[in-house]
Amino acid sequence: MHELVEEITLAPAFHDCDPMQVVWHGNYFKYFEIARCALLQRYDYDYPQMQESGYLWPVVDARVKYVRPLRFQQQLRVRARIVEWENRLKITYEIFDAGSGERLTRAHTVQVAVAAASGEMQYLCPPILWQKLGVPAP
């Protein structure tokens, strides 16, 4: 099976930083979201397509391990990888310094499928997800 991964590059903007020119911890989630959308777009199942398929995918858990600070205009690589897709959509993230390759941050998010019409959480991911990702159904 192919690896379900996407990588983006970015450099933190001034407005993302605190007075010491270090990225404020809450802005890391913005970088994860940018990488997650790039990953989901690759499989034609980003948020508009999720909604069109009849499902909402709220984030129900998010965890971050801040290893080293991100700094203003530092060139970064943000990698997003889908690691679970049977009962939930779990995506892991790593942020690296683009020059040295040093890993600066690790994180993950967990999303669950919710039927848009009824608001009911699905305990098994809908088949559309497996079709879009090209993975076998459980």
53-86: pLDDT as tens digits: 999 999 999 999 999 999 999 999 999 999 999 9
- The residue with tokens 């970088």 is 31
Exposure pattern of 116-134 as b/e (b: 16+ CB <10 Å)? eeeeeebeebeebbeebbe
Boundaries of domain holding 84 = 5-133
Residue 112 lies in a domain: yes
Domain count, the chain: 1
CATH number of residue 25's parent domain:
3.10.129.10
State residue 44's pLDDT score.
96
Residue 138 lies in a domain: no
Nearest 5°: CA angle at 135, between 113 and 43? Answer: 70
Prediction pTM value:
0.95
The answer to whether 62 touches 106, Cβ cutoff 8 Å, is no
